Amino acid sequence: MAIQRPKGTQDLLPGTVEQWQYLEETIRKVCRDYGYEEIRTPIFEATELFQRGVGQTTDIVKKEMYTFLDKGDRSMTLRPEGTASVCRAYVEDKLYGQSQPVKLYYSGPMFRYERPQSGRFRQFHQFGVEVLGADQPIVDAEVICLVWDLYQRLGLKGLEVHLNSVGCPTCRAAHREQLQRFLTTRKSELCQDCQERYERNPLRILDCKNPNCQAVTEGAPTTLDTLCDDCRSHFEKVLSLLSGAGVAYRVDPRLVRGLDYYTKTAFEVMVEEIGAQSAICGGGRYDGLVEEIGGPATPGIGFAMGLERVLAALQVQGKFPDPKPKLFAMLIALGDKAQNEGFTMMNALRGKGVPVRMDLLGRSLKAQLKAANREGAEFALILGEEELERQVLLLRDLNSGEQTEVPLSKAIEVIYMKHRRGV
């Protein structure tokens, strides 16, 4: 039996890859415009980083990580998300010694052992940004505006930002007490995971997708009910800034996100038309994470989006631009001598930045012209034994059908100038 790719992975084939490149190039352009710099971290890290950074009680750490022992008996994990790695690099590489805030973005593969389903893979790709070293509400607003701007440039419609504040450690303690009191008589009705969360991190119960748990928590106290004055002021300022920037948002008191490190602002971006799983971005503030993994007390905020999910939304809404012609010219050489001459000419043109290809199978003129049209070439450069004898090249415009003769000695310059002028 032929070997197949692992379950939950995919091959990105030509055609599809061009859509990925379009998305990635747009992401880089937006990040540059906002003053963010790219960071690249290892695909695997010490398991402890995610245990401490993401949280021991999270589904990611408990159920979804790809963890292994290396040959030195060290526990390593394929990264399930990007924030913890960026914060580790911030500490290890002493980025806190630079001018603050540090504004970073990343993009690359992540790994989670999940049940494969539509829009979810075990190897998936995330783009994210992190701002470290600033705790002002305007930083939260800029991060949200960046992702909003990105989706606007991509042309996505039906967008809405869902926002909440999960407070600071002081607020959280008050909310924890109220939530546990609310749930105490119905704890046994919760799923097994939420019964464990009740003791360790009851806020996460509000994030459970189990219908029974959602019914039990209906009417439960929210984090907004217990915000301290500082957190309330911070959240109101974020909302005011987003309103001024024209960002469509809705306050969602049940939004708590699935990771333990969030403080204050938490948000998701929702989009229409991609089915039940309508969130295509999520993030928030994490003012204690850098300290948790051994660094100095440092505020931070960021978001991450699954590129597969964004691509699905773009495909559903038909937002990919029309493909540009891939090829300027196809060089059609007929016969051995013409092939030798044509190969030299093709490489000279490529050296000048002109996209030229050449048939490598020695097919007929008809077959090569058909291939040139299929590839979207604008011109066919025809060189046969007769043309060689006369020292000319036939230049055929594949859009108009017009054909002219060009002296071989001038062919490279003529073709180069046509390409340069966009003719």
The enclosing H or E element of 43 equals none
Alpha helices in 117-209 (DSSP H): 137-154, 169-183, 192-200
Say whether 315 counts as a known binding-site residue.
no
Say whether 98 counts as a known binding-site residue.
no
**Interatomic CA distance for residues 232 and 265, integer angstroms:** 10
CB 303 within 8 A of CB 285: no
Say whether 82 counts as a known binding-site residue.
yes
**Interatomic CA distance for residues 382 and 330, integer angstroms:** 8
Say whether 363 counts as a known binding-site residue.
no
The alpha-carbon radius of gyration of the chain (Å, integer) is 28
| Residue type at 399 in one-letter notation | N
CB 162 within 8 A of CB 282: no
**Interatomic CA distance for residues 263 and 166, integer angstroms:** 6
Say whether 24 counts as a known binding-site residue.
no
Say whether 114 counts as a known binding-site residue.
no
Say whether 34 counts as a known binding-site residue.
no
Say whether 420 counts as a known binding-site residue.
no
CB 395 within 8 A of CB 406: yes
The answer, yes or no, to whether the previous bond of 169 is cis (omega within 30 of 0) is no
Residues 6+ apart with CB under 8 A from 301: 130, 131, 139, 140, 143, 265, 283, 284, 285, 286
Say whether 96 counts as a known binding-site residue.
no
301, 303, 304, 289: which is closest to 91 by C-alpha?
289
Binding residues for L-histidine: 81-83, 112, 126, 130, 257, 261-262
Binding residues are 81-83, 112, 126, 130, 257, 261-262
